[in-house]
Amino acid sequence: MHFLGPDEAMLIQSSLGSDIAMVIDDCAPYPSSYSYAMTSMFRTIKWAARCRELQREGQALFGIVQGSLYEELRKKNIEELIG
Residue boundaries of the structural domains of the chain: 6-82
pLDDT digit string (tens) for 50-82?
999 999 999 999 999 999 999 999 999 999 999
> What is the pTM (predicted TM-score) of this model?
0.92
Helix (H, G, I), strand (E, B) or coil at 83: coil
Output the average pLDDT for the chain. 96
Quickly count: other Cβ atoms within 10 Å of residue 74's Cβ.
Answer: 16
Q: What's the angle, vertex CA 62, arms to CA 11 and CA 18, rounded to 5? A: 45
d(CA 28, CA 24): 13
